[in-house]
Amino acid sequence: MNGHIGDIVHVGDLGVLAAKGFSAASVTPTGLVTRGGLDVIALMILVGWLYRRRRPSPEMPLVLTALNIGLFAAMAAISAGKFPSGVGFGLFGLLSLVRLRSAAFTLKDVAYTFAALVIALCSGLPQRETWLVVALNAVVLLAVLVVDDPRAHRPTRVLKLTLDRIYESPAEVRDDVTIRLGQEPLAVVIDEIDYVRETTRVAVRYPVDEDAWTPEQPESPVARTEGQPA
């Protein structure tokens, strides 16, 4: 995506859980291993299968895994004994600083990140029945499976174009963009008309193949482009 995605990953304020405290008896090695195994299995399905169905960002599997395992470890550490409220707020205060800032990340990457965090929370909370953890993780994974089906829609790309003229109507803009792209765009939105420089800035959405690679285009007075996958 063009620009930055800031303040995306904000883990909810769960320090109140630490303030109440968990009994050490509520965490057993067997229960911890069971919940950890369920978390790893759900993460493998989310990252290893669901996310990799499309052409993924190469950094995202590591990001999803690190956030999921890190949050699960933090929950396990808090639930292993009684923590002062300050420690609980501090741990999750550090997690709240996590942000995704890269032009390679898309809104779908953010959605998968949120799913990884929810799975870690469901698996990491103590005193939960195993069937409930399995059911909650299954609901999250099933929702991602159904909604994010690559076969349900054709991927698109958004281009920011600076055209070197002023147009009399939106139809002329669309016709010019069609000629430049070599295909009919799905949508053309006029962002700015500069009468001093005699330029028109537009945002164009057009369909692309999943494995298509679009090389960077040099800026020119005719059309300067900035692309982002959608």
Give tens-digit pLDDT for 54-103.
Answer: 766 778 888 899 989 988 988 887 777 666 656 666 666 666 655 655 55
**Rounded alpha-carbon distances, angstroms, from residue 176 to 183, 214, 221, 224:** 11, 20, 15, 14
CATH 3.30.70 in the chain is located at 156-229
- The tokens describing 88, both together, are 């609980």
Number of other CB atoms surrounding residue 107 within 10 Å? 11
Kindly give, in sequence order, each residue whose CB lies less than 8 Å from that of residue 29, ignoring residues fewer than 6 positions away: none
Class of the CATH-defined domain 156-229 = alpha beta
Provide the angle, in degrees to the nearest 10, between the axes of the packed helices 85-95 and 60-79: 180
Q: Report percent pLDDT > 70 for the chain.
A: 65
pLDDT at 218: 37
**For residues 137 and 118, what is the distance between their CA atoms, to the nearest angstrom?**
8
> Do the Cβ atoms of 5 and 100 come closer than 8 Å?
yes
**Per-residue confidence at 31, pLDDT binned at 50, 70, 90?**
confident
pTM, two decimal places = 0.61
pLDDT at 11: 44
**For residues 71 and 229, what is the distance between their CA atoms, to the nearest angstrom?**
29
